[in-house]
Amino acid sequence: MKVQLLMFMRWLHQKIAYRHIVALGDSHAQIFGHDLFKIYLPFVRFDVCSVGGATVSGLNNPNSKTATSEIFRNKLKGTPHGTSVIVMLGEVDTGFVIWYRAEKHGEMVETMLEKAVRNYRALIEEIASNHKPIVISTPLPTITDDNDWGEVANLRREVSVSQRERTQLTLRFNAAIKAWCREKGIAYLDLDTESIGEHGLVSGSLLHDNPRDHHYASKQYIRLMVPKLRQLLRGENR
C-alpha cells in the first residue's frame, strides 16, 4: 500500500502545478531530495544544491577543496527573482573545521565562531537581495566521543573535542543566526529544541541506523521538519 501511494504521489508530483524551492547546503541538504517530501509537501518541488564539506567560515577545510559560495551563486543565477531558497549550513564549521584549526593551529574558537557567523550572515544577505531565504538551524553533532568517525572524512578523527562541546558551539551558532534573522525579517526554522535529547545532546531518535553515518535519520528528520516548514510556507502565501 505504501509503495502504491508513493508511486501515485510521484505521478501526481509530475502532473500538478508546484512551488519551486531551491535548497542550498552541505551534505545534510540532500534530505530535500527524499521521496517523503512528495507525500508531505506534494505541491512543492525542491531543487537541491548540496556541497559535501561546505563551510561558511571562510576557514580552510582540509577535507574539501570546493568553492562553496561560488557554487551557490552559479546555482542561483538562473533562478527567478523571489524564489524561496532554503539555506542549511554550519555543521562542518561548528562540528569540525573550527575545532580542527583550534587544535592544529592554536587559533581562538571564539574568533573563528564570530567569523563563521559573520560570513553566514553575508551569504544569507546576498541571497536575500534577489530571493527569499529560509534558514534552517544547523543539525546538531551526532558523532559520539568514542566513535571512530566511520565514513566521515578521515581528518575528523583527529579532533578530540567532546560531543557536548561541539553541540554547545552549534547551539551558539544557531542562536546567533536566529537572532540576526529575526532582526532582518528573514524566515528562520528552529529545530534545536526538538532535536535535543534528555542528556543535552542530539536526541537518539534522530540518530541514523548506520552508526557510521553522521547525518540525521531521514524519516525522523523530515517528520520533525515538515510541520514547521509547512506552517512557514503557508504564512508566506497569505
Q: What is the pLDDT of residues 162-196, one digit of tens each?
A: 999 999 999 999 999 999 999 999 999 999 999 99
Pairwise CA distance, residues 43 & 178, whole Å: 27
Predicted pLDDT of residue 69? 81
| CATH number, domain 2-232, options 3.90.1640.10, 3.40.50.1110, 2.40.160.20, 3.10.310.30 | 3.40.50.1110
Per-residue pLDDT band at 230 (split at 50, 70, 90): very high
Residue 22: is its pLDDT beyond 70? Answer: yes
Predicted pLDDT of residue 111? 92
Neighbours of 206 (CB within 10 A): 20
Predicted pLDDT of residue 7? 74
Alpha carbon 232 to its chain's center:
17
Instruction: Name the β-bridge partners of 202.
Output: 196
Predicted pLDDT of residue 56? 81
Average pLDDT of the segment spanning 196-224:
92
Q: Amino acid identity, residue 91? A: E
Q: Of 3-12, 177-186, 213-222, where does the model show the most confidence?
A: 177-186
Predicted pLDDT of residue 177? 98
Q: Which three cell numbers stand for residue 99?
A: 575545532
Predicted pLDDT of residue 41? 93
Predicted pLDDT of residue 160? 83
What is the rounded radius of gyration, in angstroms, for the C-alpha atoms of the chain?
A: 18
Q: Give φ, ψ of 151 to 5 degrees.
A: -85, -5
